[in-house]
Each structure stands twice: as structure tokens, then as C-alpha cells.
Structure 1
Amino acid sequence: MGIVLRNKIQLVIIGLCIAFITLFVVGCGNSESKEEKVQTTKVVTDLVGNEVIMPKDVNKIAIVPIPWATIVYAVDGSGDKIAAMHPSAKKAYEDSILKTMAPNMENANATFVDNNFNVNYEELAKLKPDVVVIWDYQPEVAKKLKELGIPSVQIKYGTLEDIQKGMILVGNIINKPKEAEALVNYHIQSADYFKGKQEALKAQPKKKVLYLRDEKLNVAAKDSVNTLMIESAGGINVAKDISGQWKPTTMEQILAWNPDVIVISNFSKLMPEDLYNNKITGQDWSQVKALQTKQVYKAPMGIYRWDAPAVETPLMMRWLGKVLQPEVFNDYSMSQELKSFYHNYLKYDLSEEEVNDILKSNVNPVIPTL
């Protein structure tokens, strides 16, 4: 009986050991599975406060908002992750130096969204993006994308602060927070520089500026970032009392404003010569002071249109400073500012010819201190 009892006890002990080992292995397997799951995803908070689960390593981004393709490019230092962009962004790409800097962006899809920001979900799904960037006013798009299993982040846009927050968001999405922070610091330093110039600007006469979007006479109004840029550079936006971003006006109103300077946006093909030569039917620009003094400018265009809040906004402000108050903004060379920014932040060395192309030197009046 003693031997039988001992054998039974040994069998029980062996069984318990096997059970323990099995539980241990299964437990480790579950632990490793959980650990693996944590390592392959991450949570990013977008600009409206949504906590979005997305792949840890984002390699394909579809971008609905127009300027955001260049923000992704600037933070990443490449266009490799841009799978799709808005058709207006693609048009800007085709007309800009970015086509030289990032030729692979030519392959980015530009038909998954239309000019009114309506998304073609079937086409988007075929692209298999890791994440989609959409506007803050598109929660229904976010809902639909979630149903399709596609993460999306919503962004706010319209102010310089929105751009800074947007760059930080992009840095978090593509795991490049330091690069994003460097760009944000550049923007903050630029804002501080212009704040430091405001006292000197008080003693200077202010030029009246008309910021013209197109031949339909849409102009930058009170709530546009263009008003902030003009005022920071020592000018007065003639449309500052009209609420909104871009608003239509009339030729009669422009004659009443009689601006000293006109800046033409890159959102249209309109050029200074079109105004000088009165090429637009029903419009006579000959009596406007800016035409009489040859002060009509085409806004510069770098990796994106300088009219809109974007990566190069500090450069636009410096250019406006040279145009509107060259005596105050006499402590830098615009050419050198451009070259330094592109070298330090975009890792690209501009030639003098490329600088002139960006600044539209072939169609703009000569700025002596540029």
C-alpha cells in the first residue's frame, strides 16, 4: 500500500507540474501577444481632442486639407509618406519648387477628394492609408472612415497657432517630434522678431494694402491671416473692416480704397501685368495708386503658396516687411533668409535662380533691400 500511495502522490505531483508549466507558457504567450499589440499601435490626440488609435509606424497618409501635404513634407523631410493629397495641393506642387525637391510626390493620388473636400471612400480605401488627415468640421467623414477601419485625425486651420499645433500633431503621427518642435520654434522666434519691430513701426507711415485673390475681386478680409501678416509688417489691410476670410468686393470699392500696394495671391493665375494692361473685362485699374506707382506684386511661392498659413509663413512676413517697410526691416537679406530656412529645415540648398523663382523676381518690382 505504501508503494501504491507513493506512486499516486508522484503522479499527482507530475500532473500539477505539467498543469503549472502549461499555464505558465499560455500566460507568457498572452503577455507577449499583449506586448506585441502595444508595440504595433499608438494613440495620438488630434486638434479637436479625439484620441486616435493608429499604427505605431505610419507610412501612408492621405491628406484632405490643402496645405497639410507640405507640412507633412517639412516635418518628415520627405514626401515618401504622402499617399494622397487634395487636387489644389497637387496643383500647387506642380507649380512649385517642391516638384524638384520631392519628385516622388508626383505619384500621390489627387482624386480621392474633390475641390469641395468631398471624399470618395471607395477610392480612398484602395489606397490603404495608415491614417487620413481631415478638417475639424468633418466629423461625419471621421465616422465613415472609422466604419471602414481607417484612422483619421481632425485638424484646425486658419491661424498661426493652428499651424504650430498642426506641425506638432504631424510630428506625433510620423514619430518625428523633434523635427516638428524645431519648426515650431522657428515660427515662435519669427513672431517674437515681429513683435520686437512694432515700436519702430509706430513712427512710420503705413501703406494701404489690397490682398487680391483673383480676377473676381475676392480680397483678404478682417479674419484672414493675411491681415495679421500685413499689420505685422507695418501695413494696413484696406479690407480690414470686412468680416470673414476672403470676401468679394467691387471695382468701385477698390477705387475708393485706392491702395498703395497690391499683392496678388497664388490661388489664381492672375499676374501684375493683367492689372497693368487692364486685361480683365469690366475692370479699369489705371486710376489705382498702386498701379500708377508700379507697386503690384505677385505673392511668392516656395514649397507651397505663401498666401495661406503654412510652413513658410514667417518667410512671407519677412518678404512683406521688405515690401512695406524696408527702412525698418533692414537687418536681414531675404535671399539669405530663404537659403538658411531651406538648408536648416528642409535640407535643401537653394540656388540664386531658385530664390528668384520663389520670390517671383521676374514679375515683381525691384525691392532695393531684398
Structure 2
Amino acid sequence: MKNTIKLITAAAFFGMLMSACGTGEGTQSTTEAQPSADENVIEDQLGREVTINENPENIVVGGILPYFSTWYVATDSTEEIAGMHPNSYNAAENSMLAEISPEVLDASTDFVKNGEINIEELMKINPHVYFEKESDEKTLEKVAEAGIPSVGLQTNKVADSDPLATFNSWLELTADIKGGKVDERVDSFMEEGSNVQNMIDDTLKDVKDEDKPRVLFLHKHSDKSIVVGGANFFSEKWTEATGGIDIVGDDGVEGMKEVNMEQVYEWDPDIIYITNFTETQPDDLLEDKVPGQDWSEVKAVQEGNVHKVPLGIYRWFPPNGDAPLMLKWLAQHNHPDKFDYDIKEEIKTYYKNFYDFELSDEEVDSILHPSSEAAKY
């Protein structure tokens, strides 16, 4: 990959490390075990140069929750995942990744204490690299100061929160870390996503706006709070990429916003998608089970168009390895008259081709209808 710079000698690495420490843009290595293999200098998504062992044996994933699954997609391995955020671990426990590569469940969550990174516990894992969302610069700096290479990853700045583009950028960065050893695998995933999007675009090219469904993503939800997704957020990009109208973003809402039922009534969506960041299930709305909230007045509920977003290799809402399947699943719900493929067969074929895993009918059903447990943490 273009960002990868081979370091020829240990002396060169040491000189770079000392220079970085002097400028405050530090690239640091663990003090307990110096990497013996070649090293790379990669540029993370904060624009920082970070020196990393080309074959890191221990990686830790903090608040950038989906990245542990990206590591698997790029490398075909979870053995290196030594630690992950408890929220990530809960998703992993309820994902197909736990079946495909069960070593992922060996990861520790002890380094997260009361929602914060505990450096002492993190050091016990002896990570060769730590991954964090780029917005959490405080944690990235704290980890780097402890001598652990820290890599910042963007979530909402890649093509204005395009989940597929974001996932592709993470794949490319992972390939940089691996010194180009996984380029072919990474390229195959990226090509599939592009092919699926092109297929959807071609199929929907003549659809007029008045024939597109008005979509609302229910991101987090309880009897006390309704949080929806709006513009410059994954919900907007998924909706627009699959022939829907983001009624929340179009109304001027940016990112995530807490709203009340009166606002939902005003929007009156044709379709509601419920993410895996809430325990709420479609039946909770369809059967009017939520105390203090009357969803029966909403068009999507009246017509039975309320759907839980699937969870396969990871939650399908944020950037993830099943992104091409998310596109197909959404496109079919948004335009069932134009996409007549069997989504269950599409999922089976994808998992066989890209994960070399044969899914049973029961496993496909578990992907399409994830339990509420996956949202708990």
C-alpha cells in the first residue's frame, strides 16, 4: 500500500522514534517486547506517522467498536486480537465471527474501566498496537505516552460518513500495517462492495423521488428515549445508497438526535429500521409494547414495515465486512418490486466466497433476526 515505508535497520527506527518524541507526534513501541520482524511507518487517519511491527501479535481495539471485525476481514485471523471494548465483545459473542473464528472470544475487556481506558490493565495485555476512534485524541495520546503505538481511525469524516467507504479505508490501513501481505484479500472485498453498489444504482436509475420510501433509522431507543439518525451519519448514506429518502436528514437533523413521538408523527416514515445499538425489536413497535409511546399512529407500523438491522460478521449498521449484504438487504426492503433475489441465498453465497464458511439455515435466520442480547453492554 502507498502509505507503507519499509524500515531497513533498527537504527533507523530508533532515530525516527526519538525524532517523533521531540515533535509531539510520537510513534512509540512497547517497552516489554521489541518487535523482531520488519516494521512499517503507516499514516493513521489523524495524519500521524505511527511505527508498527509488520506482524503484530497482539492488537487491542478500544472505542472504535467495529474495527476488530475489520481486522479479521483483512487478515483472515482473530488470533492477534488480544483486547477489545466490552461493547465490541458483546457484539462478537452474538456474531457469526464467534463461529467462524472463535479465538476472537479470547480477547480481554479488562482494560476498560467505567467506560475509560485503564493504562495499567492495557499494559498487561502487552499490545503491539492500539486502535481508537480519531475523535478520542486524549486516549490516543495517553496510550502513545505509555509506549504503545496508537492508531486513530475515522468514522464520520470518510465521504461524509459513508459506511462502505469508511470500511474500505480501514481495510486499506490494515493492509498498510501488514506490509501489503493482504492486498489481494482486501481488494476482493472492496471490489464486491463496488459491484453491489453499481448493481443497485443501475437498477434504480429511473426511479423518481416520489416513488422512493421515506425512511427513519431508530438508532437508540427505550421507553425513556428515542434517538434517530440524520444527515452526515451512516443512516443517511445507507438510505440514499439503496433508493430511500432520509426524512430525518432532509429535515435538517445532523448526526444522532433525541426526539419525541410528536416529531416521529410529523415525519410519519414509510419504513423504520432499528439498529443493533438498541435492544428494541420490531414487535415492540408493531405490538405497541413501549410504555408511554404510541407507535400505532405511524405509517411504517401500520403497514408492518419495521425491520431490525441484521448482525453477521458484526452489526450491519456501522462499517463492517458484510456491507455488500447490507446494501442488498436494504435495497430489497426499500424496493421489493425491483430486487427479487433470495437474500438468504445471497448471504450463504457471500459467506462461502469471502469467509469460506458454510452457513446453515438456522445461522442465516440468526443473522437476519439478531437477539436483543447483542445490544447489551
Partners of 1:188 and 1:114 in 2: how far apart? 39
Q: What is the RMSD computed on CA atoms of the aligned residues?
A: 2.5
Residue 35 of structure 1: how far off its partner (Å): 9.7
**Which of 227, 234, 256 is the equivalent residue of 2:243?**
234
Q: In structure 1, what is the equivalent of residue 147 of structure 2?
A: 149
Percentage of matched positions with identical amino acids: 31
Partners of 2:145 and 2:298 in 1: how far apart? 55
Equivalent positions of 1:85-234 (< 5 A) are 85-113=84-112, 116=115, 118-158=116-156, 159=162, 160-174=164-178, 175-202=181-208, 205-213=211-219, 214-215=221-222, 216-234=225-243
What TM-score, normalized by structure 2, do the two folds share?
A: 0.81
- Which structure has more helix as a fraction of its residues? 1
Runs of at least 5 residues in structure 2 that lack an aligned partner in the other structure: 1-7, 14-34, 157-161, 373-377
Change (3 A) 1:81 1:286: same
Letter in 2 for 1:267: F
Residue 217 of structure 1: how far off its partner (Å): 1.0
Runs of at least 5 residues in structure 1 that lack an aligned partner in the other structure: 1-30, 364-370
Partners of 2:244 and 2:10 in 1: how far apart? 61
Partners of 1:56 and 1:320 in 2: how far apart? 37
Partners of 2:274 and 2:104 in 1: how far apart? 27
Aligned residues of 2:95 and 2:313 also touching (Cα < 8 A): yes
Residue 190 of structure 1: how far off its partner (Å): 2.4
Q: In structure 2, what is the equivalent of residue 9 of structure 1?
A: none
Aligned residues of 1:77 and 1:347 also touching (Cα < 8 A): no
Residue 62 of structure 1: how far off its partner (Å): 0.3
Secondary structure at the residue paired with 2:231? coil
Partners of 1:39 and 1:233 in 2: how far apart? 44
- Bigger mean CA offset, 95-104 vs 121-130: 95-104
Partners of 1:227 and 1:33 in 2: how far apart? 47
Aligned residues of 2:200 and 2:331 also touching (Cα < 8 A): no
Equivalent positions of 1:1-370 (< 5 A) are 40-64=38-62, 65-113=64-112, 116=115, 118-158=116-156, 159=162, 160-174=164-178, 175-202=181-208, 205-213=211-219, 214-215=221-222, 216-240=225-249, 241-330=251-340, 332-360=341-369
Change (3 A) 1:108 1:294: same
Partners of 1:361 and 1:62 in 2: how far apart? 26
Deviation per CA, 1:280-326, whole angstroms, max 9, x where unpaired? 22101112122221121111111111111222222111101111102
Partners of 1:166 and 1:32 in 2: how far apart? 28
Secondary structure at the residue paired with 2:144? helix
The number of aligned residues is: 331
Letter in 2 for 1:194: I
Letter in 1 for 2:298: V
Letter in 2 for 1:353: E
Partners of 1:106 and 1:156 in 2: how far apart? 25
Letter in 1 for 2:144: K
Letter in 1 for 2:168: Q
Change (3 A) 1:184 1:333: same
